[in-house]
A = this chain, B = another copy of it.
Amino acid sequence: MSPAADRPADRPTDSPDSPAGRPVDLARLVTVMRETGPLVHCLTNSVVRQITADVLLAAGAAPAMVDHPDEASDFAAIASGVLINVGNPTAEQVEGMHAAIASARAAGTPWVLDPVAVGGLVLRTGLATDWLEAGPAAIRANASETIALAGTGAGGRGVDSTEDVLAAESAARDLSARSGAVVAVTGPRDLVVTQRPGHLGEAAPPTRTTWVESGHPLLQKVIGTGCALGALTAAYLGAARSAGIADHDAVVAAHAHAGAAGTVAARTAAGPGSFAVAWLDALYTLTPEEIAGLVTVSEA
Contact = CB atoms under 8 A, between A and B. Distances in A.
A65 interface: yes
> Which of A122, A224, A278, A280 is packed against the most chain B CB atoms within 10 Å?
A280
B90 A67 contact: yes
B63 A88 contact: no
Contacts of A122: 70-71, 74
Interface in A49-94: 49-51, 53-54, 57-58, 62-68, 70-71, 74-75, 78, 87-92
Given A62-B158, A273-B278, A68 B123 contact: yes
A121 B49 contact: no
Contacts of A62: 157-160
Number of this chain's copies in the assembly equals 3
Interface string A244-282: 000000000000000000000000011111101111111
A281 B285 contact: no
Interface string A153-173: 000011110000000000000
A283 B272 CA distance: 9
A221 interface: yes
Nearest to A70: B123
A158 B40 CA distance: 10
A224 B70 contact: no
Nearest to A159: B64
Contacts of A58: 221, 271-273
A30 interface: no
Contacts of A159: 62-64
A120 interface: yes
A223 B280 contact: no
A276 to B, nearest CB: 7
Interface of A: 39, 45-51, 53-54, 57-58, 62-68, 70-71, 74-75, 78, 87-92, 117, 120-124, 157-160, 220-224, 269-274, 276-285
18 contacts: A39-B158, A45-B65, A48-B50, A50-B223, A54-B223, A57-B222, A58-B271, A64-B117, A66-B117, A68-B123, A71-B121, A74-B121, A75-B158, A90-B92, A271-B282, A273-B276, A273-B279, A274-B280
